[in-house]
Amino acid sequence: MDTNKFKIQLENELKLVEGEMKDVGRKNPSNPNDWEPVETDMGSDPADNNDVADEMESFGENAAVLNRLEARYNDIKSALDKIKEGTYGKCEIGGEDIPEERLEANPSAKTCIEHSK
Ligand SMILES: [Zn+2]
What is the Cα–Cα distance from 78 to 92, expressed in whole angstroms? 11
Question: Which residues contact residue 90 at a Cβ distance below 8 angstroms, ignoring those fewer than 6 apart?
Answer: 82, 96, 97, 98
pLDDT tens digits, residue range 35-81? 899 987 665 555 556 677 777 788 899 999 999 999 999 999 999 99
The answer to whether the CB of 51 falls within 8 A of the CB of 45 is yes
Question: Which residues contact residue 82 at a Cβ distance below 8 angstroms, ignoring those fewer than 6 apart?
Answer: 88, 89, 90
Q: What percent of the chain has pLDDT over 70?
A: 91
Beta pairing partners, 26: 36
Q: Is residue 69 part of a domain?
A: yes
Q: Is residue 104 part of a domain?
A: no
Q: Is residue 12 part of a domain?
A: yes
Domain count, the chain: 1
The answer to whether the CB of 7 falls within 8 A of the CB of 83 is yes
Spacing, Cα 66 to ligand 1 middle (Å) = 29
Q: Is residue 95 part of a domain?
A: no
- Of the two residues 15 and 39, the one the predictor is more confident about is 15
* Domain encompassing residue 22: 3-86
Tell me the residues surrounding ligand 1 (ion) with CB < 5 Å: 91, 93-94, 112, 115
Mean pLDDT of the chain: 90
